[in-house]
Amino acid sequence: MKMSSTVNAPHVTIDGEHLTLEDVHLVSREHAQVAISLEAYEKVKKSREIVQRFLDVGKPIYGVNTGFGALANIRISKEKLKELQKNIILSHSAGVGNYLPEDFVRAMILIRANALAKGLSGVRPIVVEKLVELLNKKITPAVPEIGSVGASGDLAPLSHIAMVLIGEGKVVRDGKAVVFSPSDYNFQPIHLEEKEGLSLINGTQFMAAHLSLIVRDLEKLMEIATLVAASSVDVLLGTPAAFDERIQLARPHPGQIKIAQMLREFLDGSQIRESHKNCGKVQDAYTLRTIPQVYGAVLDIIQWVKEVVQREINSATDNPLIFEDEVISGGNFHGEPLALCADYLSIALTSMGNMIERRIDRLLNPKVNEGLPPFLAGGEEGLNSGYMIWQYTAAAICNENKVLSHPASADSIPTSAYQEDHVSMGANAVRKLRKIFENIVSLVSIEAMLVSVALDSRRPLKSSCKIEDFYGKINLKLSEDRYFGENFEKVKEVILKEVFS
């Protein structure tokens, strides 16, 4: 991908080879304009010519002049080939449930367009152009969340996008799903030709879109979560000794080394630390001492998933694929690589969340919070409960994460009359991951809220400059009981602004 930008109008150019996670973010959330490179246009055009050549000699091609799935051995007459492509879109639009957030739908469209731009799918250039037009005109198809088993690709979700291309289906307008009226958007629907319906829906873009956005956001969140963890160590009078570089180099996992370095930088110059430097404490509880090992492992997994997803968003994931002298049926639509990534991340984030919840308890629990007010309550003790119940909320979130972290990919249910007899369940894996990510944001927000109050109770001592700068945006005070939900929302807003920046 090549990218150019002006102050207000970034542009992303797709070529099937160089799309990045940041590009996906720009298009899906910042509404960057999208263009197709000239090289990609020529590749797509050539691929279509190959399909036409095979059609002219009557060569049987799956999904082009045959039925689909278990019906693959049924030949379709020449005069009905275009009807076949429209039928697959109509019949496969079988999604149910809540509609997918708009940024995830836009990410799906972009990644699908980029996959077709590789020139291995046999569609006409206008098909790619129409997908790009949806993005540039901010036409967002209404895509139900449930319906994909992650092989043969994300058929149902992608079909709901393709419905809009042919002038049918629903779009999201003013936050509501409404019947699509092409004239409202000056959009000319496309009439599909051979293979084009199948090429639009036979891919992994529901899964890839989720992972692209979540992994990008997780990289941002991990830095904030590490700062918040460091601030918990500080207000709980912990020691940074366990973050010593020599310890990390003795077990040189990259993530562990990186997190420990961040912790040292975040804690550097803290007056709170200096106030108890010679207290004689040898070591802290695991939730303070082993942050590099736990958060570092999560960071390593994020990096691995990022590499997988980066390859995926520049891959041809439909079937069959069109090569110079042959049309070959394969299995690139199978979502196993993405399903395993999502499940692995879900487990990792759940474990990280468990650690956050234990620090939340330590901040509130008078038995272990190093002299902070019980439950961070101001005023008369007993009359005020403070933030006591926020630990309950954290526990409820962690319990939900533990349920959601069961691997979707451990299951497979045969589809299409045993023809498609192993599926990845990757769509459910990424849906669960999205919820776990939201839950982790809430846990980090609760921890940060409590630390902000704890910092106030440690005055006049201050933490490090970096920690004080962050909490200056929050600035909560120790107080008598009131509705603390507003504090939580304030903290969460600060964190999300950092994540999505």
Catalytic residues: 62
> Ramachandran region of residue 167, left (φ > 0), alpha (ψ -120 to 50) or beta?
left
Under a CB-based contact definition with an 8 Å cutoff, are residues 82 and 69 in contact?
no
Asked if the bond preceding 460 is cis, omega within 30° of 0, the reply is yes
Q: Confirm if 390 and 302 have CB atoms less than 8 A apart.
A: no
The pair of three-digit structure tokens given for residue 475, joined into one six-digit string: 């600035």
Joined tokens for residue 215: 């992994």
Give the amino acid at 239: T
* Tokens (6 digits) for 335: 């979502």
Cβ pair 401, 377 in contact under 8 A: no
Q: Which of 238, 263, 303, 482 is nearest to 379 (CA)?
A: 482
Helix axes 205-235, 426-457, angle to 10 degrees: 20
**Using CB atoms within 10 A of its CB, is residue 319 exposed (0-12), middle (13-18) or buried (19+)?**
buried
Report the SS3 class of residue 209.
Answer: helix
Cα 342 from Cα 349, distance rounded (Å)? 10
d(CA 214, CA 195): 32
Question: Do 241 and 283 meet the contact criterion of CB atoms below 8 Å apart?
Answer: yes
Beta-sheet pairing, 144-146 with 33-36: unpaired
Nearest-Å Rg of the Cα atoms of the chain is: 26
Of 421, 433, 470, the residue nearest 348 (C-alpha): 433
